[in-house]
Amino acid sequence: MDVLRIAAFSDGNRGGNPAGVVIGEALPDAAEMQRVAAEVGFSETAFAAPEGGGWRVRYFSPESEVPFCGHATIALGAALVRRFGNGVFSLILNQANITVEGFCDGANVAAALQSPPTHSRPASSELAGEALALFGYQPGDLDPAIPPALIHGGADHLVLALKSREALAAMAYDLKQGQSFMRREGLVTILLAYAETPRLFHTRNPFASGGVYEDPATGAATAAFAGYLRDLGWPHGGAIDIIQGEDMGMRSRLHADIPPTPGSSIRVSGTARLMDARAEAA
């Protein structure tokens, strides 16, 4: 099985979130996909096979299957465009149908996904309090303009918005405790965010549910967060930019276009960095 290794949402020729991509005539069985994802060791590996004029796609972390992964979708889009040329590719996920657009501009490869529909609801004080305690934060560390919420854009996340960049940089937690909490609550990641301006955010994404301490770029959480800002009536001006992974030395850049219709799909885009010769040859 040939696994391509592509860093999605890169910052030029550095950073980004590595993902495995496997493109075949048919999907392996779930146990084999789980084994390969664990062997690859990236936060997610996407498996894709042709189906009905589109592509059937499943995503696996090293420890479990997830319903949707943004950065692995961007990586898949980059692999598809290098194999088939610029275009929009229909993807059939476990719980939704979406598209990814891939395009080359000289040596640069970029992709944009259309997320599943978004929705959000306030987090209970008990849930928010337990999450704050996990990271050693106090209620006074939160940005009152963006209250804690459960957000969805293909997968479920909890968002905690912090009122200082220093608090975000200080993020630390126990992986096993975080994994127990996130799996119990059905959370794929917890998104920690700081608003530098109304349209520029710094984020961090603990991914303990999948056995990963932190993700350097998280497209699914970005889509969910953009949908939540729309629900809040946040002055986003139609789009936001996100810098993620900076505190772990893997600076990544994500862009989200936010249409006005509540609950509608979010377009998340970024560049992709090819990590090895097999990706170059795809």
- Nearest 5°: the CA angle 201, 206, 211 is 155
CATH for 3-114 (3.40.50.12500, 3.40.1350.10, 3.30.2320.50, 3.10.310.10)? 3.10.310.10
What's the pLDDT at 279? 44
Cβ atoms of 110 and 8 closer than 8 Å: no
What's the pLDDT at 127? 98
First to last CA, the chain: 14
Per DSSP, the three-state class of 178 is helix
Q: How many CA atoms lie within 13 A of 156 on its CB side?
A: 12
Between CA 131 and CA 153 the distance in angstroms is 20
Catalytic residues: 44
Cβ atoms of 81 and 87 closer than 8 Å: yes
CATH fold match for the domains 3-114 and 119-263: yes
Task: Provide φ and ψ at 148, rounded to 5°.
Answer: -55, 135
Task: Identify which of 74, 66, 77, 31 has the alpha carbon closest to the alpha carbon of residue 207.
Answer: 66
Sketch the domain layout of the chain as residue ranges: 3-114, 119-263
What's the pLDDT at 27? 97
* Per-run averaged pLDDT (10 residues), the chain, 282 residues: 94 92 97 97 96 96 93 96 94 95 84 96 98 98 98 97 98 98 97 98 96 94 98 98 96 97 97 69 42
CATH for 119-263 (3.10.310.10, 3.40.50.720, 2.30.30.100, 3.40.50.970)? 3.10.310.10
